[in-house]
Amino acid sequence: MSIKNGLPEQMKLAATLSAELNPSAPVIMAGDPAGRIALASELGYDAIELHWANPAQIPLAEIGSECRKNGLEISAFATGRAYVQEGLSLIHEDDENRAAAVKRLKDFVDAAAPYQATVIIGCIRGNLSTEDDGRRSLERLASSTLTVAEYAREKNVGIVFEAINRFENNYLNTAQETAAFIRENDLPNTRILLDTFHMNIEDADLSKAILDCGDLLGYIHIADSNRRFAGAGHIDLKEIFNSLKAVDYKGFISAECLPLPDSETALSGWIQGVKNAFR
- Identity of the residue, 9 or 23, whose beta carbon is nearer to ligand LER in the bound complex: 23
- With binding defined as CB under 5 A, does residue 125 bind Mn ion? no
- With binding defined as CB under 5 A, does residue 195 bind Mn ion? yes
Q: From 93-101, 181-189, 218-226, 231-239, give the range in contact with Mn ion by CB under 5 A.
A: 218-226
- With binding defined as CB under 6 A, does residue 164 bind ligand LER? yes
- Pairwise CA distance, residues 88 & 82, whole Å: 6
- Pairwise CA distance, residues 13 & 47, whole Å: 6
Among residues 221, 252, 255, 263, the one that binds Mn ion under rule CB under 5 A = 221
- Identity of the residue, 164 or 217, whose beta carbon is nearer to ligand LER in the bound complex: 164
- Pairwise CA distance, residues 195 & 198, whole Å: 6
- Pairwise CA distance, residues 40 & 67, whole Å: 10
The length of the chain, given as a count of residues? 279
Q: Tell me the sheet residues that pair with 3.
A: 8
Name the CA dihedral angle for 54, 58, 60, 63, rounded to a multiple of 10 degrees. Answer: -130
Is 256 an active-site residue?
yes
- Give phi and psi for 258, each to the nearest 5: -70, 145
Site string for ligand LER, 124-163 (x = CB under 6 A): --------------------------------------x-
By CB under 5 A, name the binding residues for Mn ion.
195, 221, 256
By CB under 6 A, name the binding residues for ligand LER.
26, 78, 80, 122-123, 162, 164, 168, 195, 221, 256
